[in-house]
Amino acid sequence: MRRHENDDAVSRGIRLALLATVILFATAFGKPIAAAEGNGALPAAFQPSAMVTIDGRPLFAVVGVPAYPAKTRARMIVERILAVAEDPSFSVEQLRGKEEKNQTSILAGDKRLLAVIDADAALQGLDRHQFVPLVIGIIADAVTRYRQERSADFLLKRAAAAAGAIALLALFLWTTRWLLRRMLQAVQRYLRSRLEELESQSSGVLDADRFESVLLGFVRGLWWLLAAVTTFACVDSVLELFPWTRGVARWLFELVLGPLQIMLNALARSIPNLVFLAVLYVIVHYLLRILELFFAGVDRGAIRLAGFAREWAIPTFKLARMAIVAFAVVVAYPYIPGSSTDAFKGISVFAGVLFSLGSSSLIANTLAGYALLYRRTFSVGEWVKIGAYTGSIRAIEQQVTRLRTVHNEEVVIPNSQIVQREVVNYSRYARGGRLLVHSIVSIGYDVPWRQVEAMLIEAARRTEGLLKTPEPFVHKLELDDFFVKYDINAYCDDAARMPALYSELHANIIDEFNRHGVQIMSPHFLAQPAEPVVVPKARWFEPPAKQTKASDG
């Protein structure tokens, strides 16, 4: 008799293992196996199903029928199984199957627990006659386990195991906390002198106290993470020990590790896309590297292109890089994990709206910057006048142009504003000695114009930096009511010296006119003075002025 019971137990265990394997396989892949053909049932994939679960352990799945949805049917089956399990007079040997029309009833004595239909068996890819013995074995095992797990001896052993697990957790946390304090003290003693030495060598760039606090905080964070993981594992294991809390344990397990499993599955499904993105990145990276080397050679002059200026090389490379990266992003977008989700699309639309609202001036300045470069309006180092500002170009950037004035002030001008106003480039004509430095003076009608012209030309010749050939010349600009306006013009070949040349030219004009006793009609007079308003030569160097050889004559 005992041998017969052992054989039945072995046979029941084999059947249970087989069914559990089938159920686990079907559940793990989330796709029920198609029903066997010819049994008259709808394919299981098109029918909603629910799992029959007792004490947190899934037994088998059932489908819904017109009278009972799948969840209602599973709940009723659970209630009937629990009722017979709590009945001490019931023996699992009384479980049997009874064939009926289009279904098989599983009876516990005279009580019907459930009716197995073809769709239930097809859900697992089995015939109903194959599925019924497995279900009977599963129910018998569930009833036996239900009674065993509520026995006093079982509960005492599980309570002792739970207490031991909690004690081990407390001991582990206390030990690791004690070791952590000792380790932190050793780390502080080891690092303090070295960090202070590094701080002194870095001239205060490295803050020893802050670096130490960050490092120790990182170590403490690792301990808290370890403590959280071990505490969760202990709590979940303790809850798993008792039938009443086993469902909570599995719920906690799914709550914490479910998202990780989802992310890992998503990562596994995304591996081909990630490989494509990696290959695309490598191709784009080396393509940009080749272009950078090519345009760097053009910028250095090592590579010459007909009709292509060297200063266009770097801006052209930036444009080509932008176009290639934009094309690569368009190609890569469908392969980015999550790109087809509504959340990703919403973020893309939001980013596009923000970019369109805030990039109008950005795009305008960028396009204007490239227009300035390709038009060759000016180059770095040239002396120009932009609006009210005159100075040397220090940098032509993508958004702005930087100009340094004669007073050593840096003026930052948006490129879009430069395109909309006039620009005077002094350096272009200065390179060929064709830049004119000119100044206007007002002289009365009582002074012969030939004398005025000769004095202005002499003042220009005395100015160091102005070219002697071509010779300076004078224009008579205007015959006013009280004076004549004369314009002295002289050539120079260095636009950057214009402020100094103007200053020296004006000084020489004043000296020349004072030397010959000719009055400059500025400021204007209401009446002609009796004597010319000039400074005699004897007073040219009154204190604190000092006479120099250059000022003699």
Print pLDDT tens along the chain (553 aa).
333 434 444 344 444 444 444 443 344 333 333 333 233 344 444 468 899 988 888 899 999 877 788 899 999 999 999 998 888 888 888 898 889 888 899 998 888 899 899 888 888 888 888 899 999 999 999 999 888 888 888 889 889 999 999 999 999 999 998 988 888 887 777 776 666 666 666 555 556 667 667 777 888 888 899 999 999 889 988 988 888 888 888 888 888 887 888 888 878 888 888 899 999 999 999 999 999 999 888 888 888 888 787 778 888 888 889 899 999 998 998 888 777 777 777 777 777 776 666 666 777 777 777 777 777 788 888 899 988 889 999 988 878 889 999 888 999 988 888 888 888 888 888 888 889 999 999 988 888 899 999 999 999 999 998 998 899 999 999 998 888 899 999 999 988 888 999 999 999 999 999 988 888 887 666 666 667 767 777 777 766 556 765 555 5
Q: Give the distance, in angstroms, between the CA of residue 206 and the centroid of all CA atoms in the same chain.
A: 27
CA distance 195 to 188: 10
CA distance 367 to 359: 12
- Fold of the 429-525+532-551 domain: Alpha-Beta Plaits (3.30.70)
**pLDDT of amino acid 373:** 75
**pLDDT of amino acid 198:** 65
How many Cα neighbours within 13 Å face the side chain of 291? 19
- Which H/E stretch holds residue 473? strand 473-479
**pLDDT of amino acid 109:** 86
Phi and psi dihedrals of 318, rounded to 5? -65, -40
Q: Give the distance, in angstroms, between the CA of residue 387 and the centroid of all CA atoms in the same chain.
A: 39
How many Cα neighbours within 13 Å face the side chain of 27? 14
Angle at 72 (CA atoms; ends 68, 78), nearest 5 degrees: 125
Using alpha carbons, select from 47, 69, 70, 68 the residue that is nearest to residue 60.
70
The Cβ of residue 513 has, within 10 Å, a number of other Cβ atoms equal to: 23
Residue given tokens 């029941």 in the structure block = 12
CA distance 458 to 468: 11
Question: Two tokens at 112?
Answer: 């019907």
Contact predicate 415/385, CB 8 Å: no
**pLDDT of amino acid 230:** 92
- Fold of the 364-425 domain: SH3 type barrels. (2.30.30)
Phi and psi dihedrals of 353, rounded to 5? -65, -45
CA distance 65 to 188: 70
Question: Two tokens at 51?
Answer: 């799992």
SS3 (DSSP) at 524: coil
Using alpha carbons, select from 77, 64, 60, 53 the residue that is nearest to residue 251.
53
Strand order in the sheet with 483-492: 435-444, 483-492, 473-479
Three-state SS string across 92-135, please? HHHEEEEEECCEEEEEECCEEEEEEEHHHHHHCCCCHHHHHHHH
**pLDDT of amino acid 33:** 30
The Cβ of residue 77 has, within 10 Å, a number of other Cβ atoms equal to: 22
CA distance 326 to 320: 10
End-to-end CA distance of the chain: 143
**pLDDT of amino acid 397:** 82
CA distance 237 to 169: 12
Helices (H) and strands (E) in the chain, counts: 14, 13
CA distance 348 to 351: 5
**pLDDT of amino acid 25:** 39
Contact predicate 325/292, CB 8 Å: no
CA distance 77 to 59: 11
Question: Two tokens at 480?
Answer: 């006013």
